[in-house]
Amino acid sequence: MTTAAHVGVLDWGIGGLDTLARLRRRFPGLAFTYLSDSGATPYGKLDADALAARVRAVVAALDVTHCVIACNAASSVLPLRDPPCPIVGVIAPGVAVALRSGHRRLGVVGGARTIASRAWSAPLEAAGREVVQSVAQPLSAHIEAGRLGGPALEADLARILAPIRAAEVDALVLACTHYPAIAGAFARHLPGVALIDPVDALVDAAAAAFGLDDAGGAEVGALRVLTTGAPAATADAARLAWRLDLDVTRWDGPPLAPR
């Protein structure tokens, strides 16, 4: 086991807290730092160069030994040139899981930047899969606000999933780490369609890439939860979306670009 490992987990919002929770269950003795970079321009609104620069700057400033990018938009600009530490993103492990699933006709739902990047669809299509994509905003905003059900969410899901349903896909890729919070709602709208959640594959990929093992330590490792946004709002969102009670600290980090 890499006993000195201090693993960072990065997302713009609170979607990656599910990734953090799964990592901590598997590696309870490791130190973790989570950053919600919600004070910065939403990652989906940055061009590739600006997003890569932001990810590189944030990871370097966190002073961690390894970093998990629990954000599909940020993962779409990996690999970084001259990364400050070993980095694993969610897309490559997720594509591998989707291919191993054996499903031939796949739906992919994600944010506008993730979908436009074709980071999911291009490798899946190159492997002979049929792919139907749909931009799934504002689902992450619903989840950040703790709206895991209700008429507004259901109406947005019906609209977003209409082209997926019409294509009669075999499986749906959840290409945003927020979306497992509403997996039940996806299943209701797409009965009989398998859901592909890449987060466990991301944990496996991090374990392999970083040389971590599954043995738990005698003590629970340290945890820092940071945000460049509002700590109270981040803590409220974590509780509503994931039922996590966290102490969240404001972090200034690298300078923020003007919104």
pLDDT of 184 > 60? The answer is: yes
Give helix 17-26 / helix 231-242 axis angle, nearest 10°.
70
Q: Give residue 257's pLDDT.
A: 66
How far is C-alpha 125 from the chain's CA centre?
Answer: 22
Q: Give residue 217's pLDDT.
A: 59
Average of per-residue pLDDT across 139-143: 97
Q: Are domains 6-89+201-250 and 91-197 of this chain identical in fold?
A: yes
User: Residue 71 catalytic?
Assistant: yes
Spatial CA neighbour of 3 closest among 252, 219, 257: 219
Q: What are the φ and ψ backbone dihedral angles of 31, each rounded to 5 degrees?
A: -85, 135
User: Residue 176 catalytic?
Assistant: yes
Instruction: Tell me which of 7, 176, 182, 212 is the catalytic residue.
Output: 176
Which pLDDT band, with edges at 50, 70 and 90, does 1 fall under?
very low
pLDDT in tens, 75-107: 999 999 999 999 999 999 999 999 999 999 999
Q: Give residue 108's pLDDT.
A: 98
pLDDT in tens, 195-241: 999 999 999 999 999 998 755 556 889 999 999 999 999 999 999 99
Q: Which tokens belong to 150?
A: 């209700």
Q: State the Cα torsion 11-15-18-19 to the nearest 10°.
A: -30
Q: Does domain 91-197 have CATH number 3.40.50.1860?
A: yes
The domain ranges of the chain are: 6-89+201-250, 91-197
Instruction: Tell me which of 71, 90, 203, 225 is the catalytic residue.
Output: 71
Topology of the domain comprising 6-89+201-250: Rossmann fold (3.40.50)
How far is C-alpha 126 from the chain's CA centre?
Answer: 23
Q: Give residue 165's pLDDT.
A: 97
pTM of the predicted protein model: 0.95
